[in-house]
C-alpha cells in the first residue's frame, strides 16, 4: 500500500510533487467508453476540425480526472477528497501520433483547516498553456 501522509506532517505552503500524465487517442477512446461521453470532437478529427477545433481535444472531465488522480495520489488511501473543483480555461489538443499530449499538474498546500482538512490549490498545463484555472481541492487526512 502507498505511503499514508498525515495531517500533522503537512506544512502550509508546501509544494506537492509535480506529475505528468500522458493523454493519447487511446486514452480518449477509453474515456469515451468509461464515461459515456461519445462527443465526436474527442475521437473524430474530421468532425473536430469541421467545428473549428485544431484537432481532436481531450474531454474536460478527463483533464479534471487527472487532477483528481494527482490529489488522491498525494492524499493516500486514507485521505478523503471532500471538494474538487476546476474551471476549464483551455483545450488539451491530442495529436494522432505515438506520443499524444500530456497534462502536467502541480499543487500547493494553501491552508490547514480544522477537522484535519487541508486546502490545496492546483494547476494543470498542457503544451505550455494553463488548461485548468481556479482549481482547488479540500481533503481530510488521518
Contact by Cβ (8 Å): 86, 125: no
Separation CA 76–CA 65 (nearest Å): 16
Distance of CA 133 to the CA centre of its chain: 11
Work out whether 17 is an interface residue with other proteins (CB under 8 A). no
Query: Among residues 7, 19, 43, 72, which is the contact residue for other proteins, using CB under 8 A?
Result: 72
Work out whether 113 is an interface residue with other proteins (CB under 8 A). no
Size of the site for other proteins (CB under 8 A): 36
Radius of gyration of the chain (CA): 16
As given in the structure block, the three cell numbers for residue 90 are 483551455
Stated as kind and residue range, the H or E segment containing 49 is helix 45-50
Distance of closest approach, residue 42 Cβ to other proteins, in angstroms = 12
Indicate the residue among 35 and 99 with the shorter CB distance to other proteins: 35
The residue to which cell 485544431 is assigned: 54
Work out whether 90 is an interface residue with other proteins (CB under 8 A). no
Query: Among residues 6, 33, 44, 130, which is the contact residue for other proteins, using CB under 8 A?
Result: 33
Indicate the residue among 36 and 115 with the shorter CB distance to other proteins: 36
Stretch that binds other proteins, among 66-74, 92-100, 113-121, 123-131 (CB under 8 A): 66-74
Amino acid at each position: 500500500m502507498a505511503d499514508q501522509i498525515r495531517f500533522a506532517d503537512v506544512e502550509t505552503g508546501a509544494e506537492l510533487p509535480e506529475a505528468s500524465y500522458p493523454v493519447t487517442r487511446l486514452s480518449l477512446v477509453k474515456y469515451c467508453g468509461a464515461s459515456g461521453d461519445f462527443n465526436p470532437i474527442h475521437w473524430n478529427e474530421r468532425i473536430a476540425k469541421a467545428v473549428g477545433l485544431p484537432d481532436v481535444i481531450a474531454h474536460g472531465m478527463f483533464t479534471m480526472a487527472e487532477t483528481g488522480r494527482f490529489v488522491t495520489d498525494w492524499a493516500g488511501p486514507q485521505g478523503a477528497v471532500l471538494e474538487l473543483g476546476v474551471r476549464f480555461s483551455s483545450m488539451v489538443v491530442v495529436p494522432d501520433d505515438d506520443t499524444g499530449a500530456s497534462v502536467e499538474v502541480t499543487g500547493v498546500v494553501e491552508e490547514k483547516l480544522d477537522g484535519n482538512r487541508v486546502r490545496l490549490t492546483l494547476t494543470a498545463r498542457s503544451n505550455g498553456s494553463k488548461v485548468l484555472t481556479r482549481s482547488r481541492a479540500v481533503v481530510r487526512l488521518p
